[in-house]
């Protein structure tokens, strides 16, 4: 099985509803299509209801959120919630912290990951494949099994409650190397060989040939890493104790703990924490899905 | 010997030099990542094994105690509660997510205008921030005025469960939330698997008069087996190490009703500083995951041999 990122896109682009060879009469076909849409709509509704509820609640008063019967549309839209929240919690600091951590870790992961992947796929040397196997094996080990030794290390190095702890622990994951190697394996060796004959060094080949060719895979890795870091809860939860270092996730969780009856404000915070992810996702969704399909199916 | 000039000697040394160059260049690519990986993943991983056999409570000096930590584990009621809850979670999360993901994939594997939108929608919960997911579902599951119970009421359930507020129903609430969150991810894997099934199979079966139910059982499912196997393995690993969703949603409560193994590792090791003991729990967790995975691979092999 060689599931290459560029070969079959996991999710095919919407094909125009052409007629398949087995088309019977037109009537039942229309009914079937309509039925299919009804089913799809029902599924989508079920999946999206929590989001709808979140957005609608974020625009209500606290005492209008949990009502019997449910009010799906706020009586009056309180856009002021979105102005107030910045004064209630240091949301801007949290968002900035999350953005900083996510960008730093993504940059390091993409750089070192793709660099190492070149070594693992295009340079031949003894011990290479054994080493790669060690990388793969660690992906299968649950992180929860070694979080305590990691914590001890960071504590001894006095890096707890600094961003260093999180960056060092998350920027060198095996996943990035694995994903990028998968992609590089799909680029023919002849291309590198030709470049070598033309006098390009290995580093030159990496920069001038592999990097430009692997843009889709780089995008997949960058987006997946960014979103993972943005959404990560346990890392910041374990390591960051000072309020001014907190990420959006920690800030929101602590707000919920302190003011658990301020339903509307909690939902406003939740919307704000999801919004950046939604934007990133809408811009790069095909890279997300490709990245998952590739790294997933090869397992 | 090297002084005797013979034909193969320079050839030999050139080859050796080239081999060394390969090693140097190869490592120069790998090293930046490998340094971080070795120091922050490999070393802690190996250390976790050793720690399990030490008595080390953050303040005292580490002391080798052999299997003492594991003996203590067998007397620890929390451990068995956490083990039971983890198995409960896995027993709910694995089949339900599998079914939901497969159902979504089959429903969305169609040539319909706008199907892409539905795929995107189904996938989005997976990348929604965890705290938002937990907070929203906690409110949806609110026992008195939450939408879930209002819907149940409307369907005639007079005494709906109290969900996250009750010891019996907190775990089902967590499972429902996790299925909703993860199904889109596995749907993507199933959709990729469905693309590999040749259309001719379905057409041939249709000509032979097989209805869609028969085609699902006789063609789609057997052809999807590699994907299904992979999804089951991933789901299993994920279920046994579940942590963040539970920490944010219920924090193990009410009581100990949703306390899971990974959370016990966190509490013992990081909150209480019992490094040795917590590593023993972590080792048990790892061995469970490893055993289950190996058994799954064996079963899969045996079935493909047939």
B3 lies in some domain? no
CA count, 13 A, side-chain hemisphere, A48: 16
Judge whether B231 lies within some domain: yes
Higher pLDDT, A9 or A196: A196
Q: Do B130 and A172 touch (CB under 8 A)?
A: no
Q: Which of A18, A144, A282 to mutate to test the interface with B (most CBs of B within 10 A)?
A: A144
- Confidence at residue B306, expressed as pLDDT on a 0 to 100 scale: 57
Same domain, B43 and B113: no
Q: What percent of chain A has pLDDT over 70?
A: 89
CA–CA gap between residue A43 and residue B112 (Å, rounded): 15
Decide if B192 and A293 are in contact by the 8 Å CB cutoff: yes
Interface test with B, best of A118, A145, A178 (most B CBs within 10 A): A145
Look up tokens 């009010």; give the residue.
Answer: A71
Same domain, B32 and B123: no
* Number of domains chain B is built from: 2
CA A135 to chain CA centroid, Å, is 21
- Mean pLDDT for B156-179 is 86
Nearest to B191 among A10, A70, A266 (CB): A10
Sorted by where each begins, the domain ranges of chain A are 27-83, 85-298
Please write the tens of the pLDDT for every residue from A43-77. Answer: 888 888 888 888 888 888 777 777 777 777 777 77
Q: What angle do CA A45, A50, A51 make, to 5 degrees?
A: 90
Residues in a beta bridge with B64: B54
B177 and B28 housed in the same domain = no
Put simply, the answer to whether B130 touches A249 (Cβ < 8 Å) is yes
Cα–Cα distance measured from residue B179 to residue B131, given in angstroms and rounded to the nearest whole number = 16
B12/B88 same-domain check: no
What is residue B16's predicted lDDT score, i.e. its pLDDT?
81
Domain extent at residue B251 = 73-305
CATH number at residue B107: 1.10.3720.10
Structure-block tokens of residue A245? 């270092």
Which pLDDT score is estimated for B166? 84
Query: Dihedral of CA B226/B228/B229/B235: which sign?
Result: positive
Retrieve residue A210's tokens: 């592999």
In a domain, B289, yes or no: yes
Domain membership flag for residue B218: yes
Residues B271 and B228 both lie in one domain: yes
Tokens 């007629």 correspond to A19
Contacts of A8 in chain B (CB under 8 A): 192, 195-196
DSSP assignment of A195-231? HHHTT--HHHHIIIIIHHHTHHHHHHHHHHHHHHHHH
A115 vs B33, B123, B185: nearest CB = B33
CA nearest to A229, candidates A180, A186, A271, A167? A167
pLDDT classification of B215: cutoffs 50, 70, 90: confident
Query: What is the distance of C-alpha B38 from the center of its chain?
Result: 23
Distance CA B160, CA A121 (A): 57
B121: pLDDT strictly greater than 70 = yes
The architecture (CATH level 2) of A85-298 comes to: Orthogonal Bundle (1.10)
Contact, A112 vs A176, CB < 8 A?
A: yes
Q: Are residues B142 and B34 located together in one domain of the fold?
A: no
pLDDT (mean) for A121-129: 85
Instruction: Write out pLDDT tens, residues B34-84.
Output: 888 888 888 888 888 888 888 787 777 777 887 878 888 888 888 899 999
Phi, psi at A60, each rounded to 5°: -115, 180
d(CA B33, CA A61): 50
Q: Is the pLDDT of residue A249 over 80?
A: yes
């Amino acid at each position: 099985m060689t599931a290459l990122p560029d070969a079959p896109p996991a999710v095919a682009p919407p094909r125009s509803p052409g007629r398949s060879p087995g088309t019977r009469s037109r009537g039942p076909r229309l009914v079937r299509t309509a039925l299919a849409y009804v089913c799809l709509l029902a599924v989508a509704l079920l999946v999206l209801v929590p989001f709808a509820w979140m957005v609608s609640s974020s625009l209500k008063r606290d005492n209008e959120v949990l009502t019997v019967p449910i009010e799906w549309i706020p009586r009056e839209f309180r856009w002021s919630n979105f102005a107030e929240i910045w004064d209630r919690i240091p949301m801007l600091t949290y968002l900035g912290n999350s953005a900083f951590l996510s960008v730093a870790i993504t940059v390091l992961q993409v750089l070192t990951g793709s660099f190492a992947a070149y070594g693992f796929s295009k340079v031949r040397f003894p011990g290479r494949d054994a080493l790669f196997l060690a990388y793969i094996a660690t992906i299968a080990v649950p992180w929860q099994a070694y979080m305590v030794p990691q914590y001890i290390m960071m504590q001894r190095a006095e890096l707890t409650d600094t961003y260093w702890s999180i960056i060092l622990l998350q920027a060198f994951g095996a996943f990035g190397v694995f994903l990028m190697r998968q992609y590089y394996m799909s680029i023919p060796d002849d291309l590198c060989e030709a470049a070598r004959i033309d006098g390009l060094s290995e580093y030159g080949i990496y920069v001038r040939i592999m990097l430009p060719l692997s843009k889709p895979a780089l995008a997949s890795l960058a987006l997946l890493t960014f979103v993972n870091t943005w959404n990560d809860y346990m890392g910041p939860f374990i390591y960051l104790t000072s309020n001014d270092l907190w990420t959006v996730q920690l800030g929101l969780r602590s707000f919920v703990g302190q003011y658990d009856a301020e339903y509307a404000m909690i939902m406003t915070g939740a919307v704000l924490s999801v919004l950046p992810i939604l934007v990133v996702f809408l811009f790069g969704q095909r890279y997300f899905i490709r990245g998952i399909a590739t790294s997933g199916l090869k397992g | 010997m090297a002084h005797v000039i013979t034909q193969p000697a320079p050839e030999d040394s050139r080859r050796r030099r080239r081999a060394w160059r390969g090693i140097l260049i190869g490592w120069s690519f790998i090293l930046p990542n490998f340094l971080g990986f070795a120091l922050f993943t490999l070393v802690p991983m190996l250390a976790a094994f050793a720690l399990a056999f030490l008595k080390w409570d953050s303040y005292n000096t580490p002391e080798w105690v052999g299997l003492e930590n594991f003996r203590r584990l067998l007397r620890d009621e929390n451990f068995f509660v956490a083990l039971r809850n983890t198995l409960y979670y896995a027993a709910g999360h694995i089949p339900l997510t599998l079914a939901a993901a497969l159902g979504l994939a089959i429903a969305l594997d169609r040539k319909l205008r706008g199907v892409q939108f539905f795929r995107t929608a189904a996938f989005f919960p997976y990348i929604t921030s965890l705290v938002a997911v937990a907070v929203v579902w906690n409110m949806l599951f609110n026992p008195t005025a939450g939408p879930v119970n209002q819907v149940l009421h409307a369907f005639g359930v007079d005494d709906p469960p109290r969900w996250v507020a009750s010891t019996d129903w907190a775990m089902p609430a967590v499972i429902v939330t996790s299925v909703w969150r993860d199904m889109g991810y596995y749907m993507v894997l199933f959709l990729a698997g469905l693309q590999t099934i040749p259309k001719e199979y379905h057409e041939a079966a249709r000509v032979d008069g097989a209805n869609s139910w028969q085609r699902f059982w006789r063609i789609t499912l057997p052809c999807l087996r590699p994907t299904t196997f992979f999804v089951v393995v991933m789901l299993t690993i994920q279920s046994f190490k579940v942590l963040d969703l539970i920490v944010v949603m219920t924090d193990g409560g009410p009581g100990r009703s949703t306390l899971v193994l990974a959370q016990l590792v966190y509490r013992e090791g990081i909150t209480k500083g019992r490094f040795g003991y917590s590593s023993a729990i972590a080792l048990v967790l790892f061995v469970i995951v490893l055993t289950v995975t190996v058994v799954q691979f064996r079963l899969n092999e045996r079935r493909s041999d047939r």
